[in-house]
Amino acid sequence: MAKINSNYQKLQAGYLFPEIGRRVRAFSQQNPEAKIIRLGIGDVVLPLPNPIIQAMKLGADELAQRGTFKGYGPEQGYDFLLAAIAEHYRSQGASVEADEVFVSDGSKCDTANIQEIFALDNTIAVTDPVYPVYVDTNVMAGRTGMSDGKGRYAGLTYLPTTVENKFEPALPEIPVDIVYLCSPNNPTGAVMSRANLQKWVDWAKKNEAIILFDAAYEAFIQEPGHVHSIFELPGAREVAIEFRSFSKTAGFTGTRCAYTVVPKELMARNDKGEKVAIHSLWMRRQTTKFNGVSYPIQKAAAAVFSIEGKAAIEENISYTMENARLIREGLSSLGFSVNGGVNAPYIWLETPGKMDSWAFFDQLLNQCHVVGTPGSGFGSCGQGYFRISAFGFRENVEAAIERIRTQLKL
Ligand code: MLT
């Protein structure tokens, strides 16, 4: 009989967001009249802006003509989009060449897939709390032992990010080969300071480690001076891979488009101790396993960088960040301790009396019909925290705060 990859059996329960979906569906079936407000998964609600939709339509029209029809595109992405992305990086003070950009169907997939080009005996560090994809994919690959039942797996190095350290991960005290960093952070909403990120880059250089830098939320940074791309920092091109996405930035969660930058200088060693370029490995992986993002979607993504596209997405980001402000200030005025929500679309609140995160989830759902995300779903240091997403319609955000004010009885 065929055998399974037993590493999958080490995974804890289901993936976080389907589990939330399951509980919400069960509640909804028992309470069909309840008007549920969903501020759980960070999914966009605003329609795609007109300049982006127009570009998508024009792209689709081209496919309807013999002279402009396209079949398979380049796996890495069309040149027009790669050039626009490289130019955008330059405008942010980061040096990235167009042929270092790999367009894909999502940062979730890229941050999940990247680990497979690295040896199984690399030591891996993640923050705690953490976006679960980084952990689960390393569990699936066999880089960990069993879970302790509280969200930690043997063999991974966890870097706590809590109120005490202002959600800034400290450098690891034991040797680590690969570290996942996410800034602005999902789920804490914190942004790493330039000085701290530079320390990480210097550490990685000294230790021949690699930083997998998830910058999917960089466009939500509101305060000046923060790092948008790790490649703004000296030395980063030798130690980092960066992931970015059009999903939250420009409303592509349904249409799917993202990109990953692998600088040509980035090296790691093979079994013989020789240095090998990661760029060529990722290229090899993508050309074998991925056939590119569809042409109309890449046209739409390129329009995000046009003058009109930029203005439109800035408006949507401002809308979301105003929601974040309302949630932050609303909850804070009700006595909650809130973090994040200033440079990221997530508010990370401390549950009253450090109450269990899932218990708080159930109370909020039952009493207020509001859905958030239990912090413990992101790791053991997330216990006693709760994430609220600012992606939502303004009226729902306002109604959610009002319901929490008037209906939540703890
Ligand atoms: C989240 O809510 O954390 C995100 O929507 C998940 C994702 O981007 O995959």
Encode pLDDT of 180-238 as tens digits: 999 999 999 999 999 999 999 999 999 999 999 999 999 999 999 999 999 999 999 99
Pairing of strands 385-389, 275-277: unpaired
CB atoms within 10 A of CB 352: 16
Q: What is the pTM for the complete model shown?
A: 0.97
Helix (H, G, I), strand (E, B) or coil at 200: helix
Closest CA to 155 of 125, 131, 127, 178: 125
Q: Distance of alpha carbon 253 from its chain centroid, rounded?
A: 12
What atom of ligand 1 comes closest to residue 40's alpha carbon? 2
What atom of ligand 1 comes closest to residue 247's alpha carbon? 8
Pairing of strands 346-350, 337-340: antiparallel
H helix intervals, 39-113: 50-63, 79-91, 107-113
Q: Give distance in angstroms: CA of 124 to centre of ligand 1.
A: 21
Q: Give distance in angstroms: CA of 205 to centre of ligand 1.
A: 30
Q: Give distance in angstroms: CA of 348 to centre of ligand 1.
A: 14
Closest Cα to atom 4, ligand 1: which residue?
A: 42
Q: Which residues of 31-65 are buried (b: 16+ CB within 10 A; e: fewer)?
A: eeeeebbbbbbbbbebebbebbebbbeebeeeeee
Both structure tokens of 205 = 């250089």
Q: Give distance in angstroms: CA of 7 to centre of ligand 1.
A: 23
Q: Which residues contact 1 (CB under 8 A, 6 or more apart)?
A: none
Best probe residue, ligand 1, of 39, 131, 252 (max atoms within 8 Å of C-beta): 131
Helix (H, G, I), strand (E, B) or coil at 212: strand
Q: Is the dihedral of CA 102, 104, 107, 109 positive or negative?
A: negative
Q: Return d(Cα 70, Cα 296) in angstroms, integer.
A: 10
What atom of ligand 1 comes closest to residue 43's alpha carbon? 5
CB atoms within 10 A of CB 267: 16
Contact predicate 129/382, CB 8 Å: yes
Encode 112-164 in three state secondary structure.
HHHHHHCCCCCCEEEEECCCHHHHHHHHHHCCCCCECCCCCECCCEEEECCHH
Q: Which residues contact 207 (CB under 8 A, 6 or more apart)?
A: 175, 176
Q: Which amino acid is at 212?
A: L
Provide long-range contacts, Cβ within 8 A and 24+ apart, for 92-95: 92/228, 92/229, 92/232, 93/229, 93/232, 94/228, 94/229, 94/230, 94/231, 94/232, 95/231, 95/237
What atom of ligand 1 comes closest to residue 108's alpha carbon? 9
Q: What is the pLDDT along the chain (410 residues), one digit of tens a residue?
A: 999 999 999 998 677 888 899 999 999 999 999 999 999 999 999 999 999 999 999 999 999 999 999 999 999 999 999 999 999 999 999 999 999 999 999 999 999 999 999 999 999 999 999 999 999 999 999 999 999 988 899 999 999 999 999 999 999 999 999 999 999 999 999 999 999 999 999 999 999 999 999 999 999 999 999 999 999 999 999 999 999 999 999 999 999 999 999 999 999 999 999 999 999 999 999 999 999 999 999 999 999 999 999 999 999 999 999 999 999 999 999 999 999 999 999 999 999 999 999 999 999 999 999 999 999 999 999 999 999 999 999 999 999 999 999 999 98
Site residues for ligand 1, CB cut-off 6 Å: 41-43, 108, 186
Helix (H, G, I), strand (E, B) or coil at 373: strand
Closest Cα to atom 9, ligand 1: which residue?
A: 108
Q: Which amino acid is at 270?
A: N
Closest CA to 395 of 343, 344, 322: 322
